[in-house]
Amino acid sequence: MGHFTIDLPENKKGDVRWGIVSKMWFSFFRKNKSESKQGYVVNVSDTDGKIEYRLFKSKNGEWSKDPEGEIGLDNEILMFIKDAIIEKELKDA
Protein backbone atom coordinates (compact mmCIF):
# COMPACT_ATOMS: atom_id res chain seq x y z
CA MET A 1 0.00 0.00 0.00
CA GLY A 2 1.23 3.47 -0.81
CA HIS A 3 0.27 7.07 -0.23
CA PHE A 4 0.67 10.38 -2.03
CA THR A 5 -1.11 13.72 -2.53
CA ILE A 6 -2.37 15.16 -5.82
CA ASP A 7 -3.41 18.68 -6.84
CA LEU A 8 -6.82 19.08 -8.47
CA PRO A 9 -8.64 22.04 -10.07
CA GLU A 10 -10.20 24.75 -7.88
CA ASN A 11 -7.35 24.48 -5.33
CA LYS A 12 -8.53 21.06 -4.12
CA LYS A 13 -6.16 18.42 -2.81
CA GLY A 14 -6.53 14.67 -3.13
CA ASP A 15 -5.16 12.29 -0.52
CA VAL A 16 -4.44 9.07 -2.45
CA ARG A 17 -3.97 5.61 -0.94
CA TRP A 18 -3.28 2.77 -3.36
CA GLY A 19 -2.67 -0.95 -3.39
CA ILE A 20 -3.27 -4.18 -5.29
CA VAL A 21 -6.82 -5.54 -5.44
CA SER A 22 -7.11 -9.24 -6.34
CA LYS A 23 -10.09 -11.30 -7.38
CA MET A 24 -10.06 -15.09 -7.59
CA TRP A 25 -12.17 -16.83 -10.21
CA PHE A 26 -13.01 -20.49 -9.83
CA SER A 27 -14.15 -22.73 -12.62
CA PHE A 28 -14.85 -26.45 -12.80
CA PHE A 29 -13.38 -26.67 -16.28
CA ARG A 30 -10.39 -24.36 -15.92
CA LYS A 31 -7.64 -23.85 -13.43
CA ASN A 32 -8.16 -21.22 -10.76
CA LYS A 33 -7.48 -17.82 -12.18
CA SER A 34 -6.74 -14.60 -10.35
CA GLU A 35 -7.00 -11.10 -11.69
CA SER A 36 -5.35 -8.16 -9.96
CA LYS A 37 -5.78 -4.43 -10.42
CA GLN A 38 -4.33 -1.34 -8.91
CA GLY A 39 -6.91 0.20 -6.55
CA TYR A 40 -6.96 3.84 -5.48
CA VAL A 41 -8.95 5.45 -2.65
CA VAL A 42 -8.91 9.22 -3.06
CA ASN A 43 -10.21 11.60 -0.39
CA VAL A 44 -10.84 15.06 -1.85
CA SER A 45 -11.12 17.92 0.64
CA ASP A 46 -12.90 21.18 -0.06
CA THR A 47 -14.89 23.74 1.90
CA ASP A 48 -17.93 21.42 2.11
CA GLY A 49 -15.98 18.56 3.67
CA LYS A 50 -14.40 15.39 2.35
CA ILE A 51 -15.57 13.18 -0.54
CA GLU A 52 -14.17 9.70 -1.16
CA TYR A 53 -13.65 8.29 -4.66
CA ARG A 54 -12.54 4.77 -5.60
CA LEU A 55 -10.79 4.07 -8.89
CA PHE A 56 -9.31 0.90 -10.34
CA LYS A 57 -6.68 0.44 -13.07
CA SER A 58 -6.25 -2.87 -14.89
CA LYS A 59 -2.88 -4.22 -15.99
CA ASN A 60 -3.59 -3.07 -19.55
CA GLY A 61 -4.25 0.52 -18.39
CA GLU A 62 -8.05 0.62 -18.42
CA TRP A 63 -9.62 2.69 -15.63
CA SER A 64 -12.96 2.03 -13.94
CA LYS A 65 -15.08 2.86 -10.89
CA ASP A 66 -15.53 -0.79 -9.92
CA PRO A 67 -13.09 -3.68 -9.49
CA GLU A 68 -14.82 -5.71 -12.21
CA GLY A 69 -14.14 -2.98 -14.79
CA GLU A 70 -17.77 -2.67 -15.85
CA ILE A 71 -18.33 1.01 -14.95
CA GLY A 72 -16.03 3.49 -16.65
CA LEU A 73 -15.00 6.90 -15.38
CA ASP A 74 -18.08 8.91 -16.23
CA ASN A 75 -17.61 12.38 -14.79
CA GLU A 76 -15.14 15.24 -14.93
CA ILE A 77 -13.73 14.97 -11.39
CA LEU A 78 -12.88 11.29 -11.91
CA MET A 79 -11.04 12.17 -15.12
CA PHE A 80 -9.09 14.92 -13.30
CA ILE A 81 -8.20 12.46 -10.51
CA LYS A 82 -7.07 9.82 -13.05
CA ASP A 83 -4.90 12.34 -14.92
CA ALA A 84 -3.34 13.63 -11.68
CA ILE A 85 -2.54 10.06 -10.54
CA ILE A 86 -0.94 9.24 -13.90
CA GLU A 87 1.10 12.46 -13.78
CA LYS A 88 2.28 11.74 -10.23
CA GLU A 89 3.23 8.13 -11.03
CA LEU A 90 5.18 9.20 -14.14
CA LYS A 91 6.96 11.92 -12.18
CA ASP A 92 7.98 9.48 -9.42
CA ALA A 93 9.06 6.72 -11.80
pLDDT of residue 36: 82
pLDDT of residue 72: 93
User: What CA–CA distance (Å, rounded) separates 69 from 63?
Assistant: 7
pLDDT of residue 54: 95
Pairing assessment for the beta strands 12-25 and 33-46 based on DSSP bridges: antiparallel
Full-prediction pTM beyond 0.75? Answer: yes
The amino acid at residue 12 is K
pLDDT of residue 79: 96
Whether 36 and 22 have beta carbons less than 8 Å apart is answered as yes
User: What CA–CA distance (Å, rounded) separates 15 from 42?
Assistant: 5
pLDDT of residue 23: 64
Whether 19 and 2 have beta carbons less than 8 Å apart is answered as yes
pLDDT of residue 22: 76
pLDDT of residue 64: 95
Residue segments in the chain with a per-residue pLDDT below the cut of 50: 25, 27, 32-33
pLDDT of residue 24: 53
The amino acid at residue 1 is M
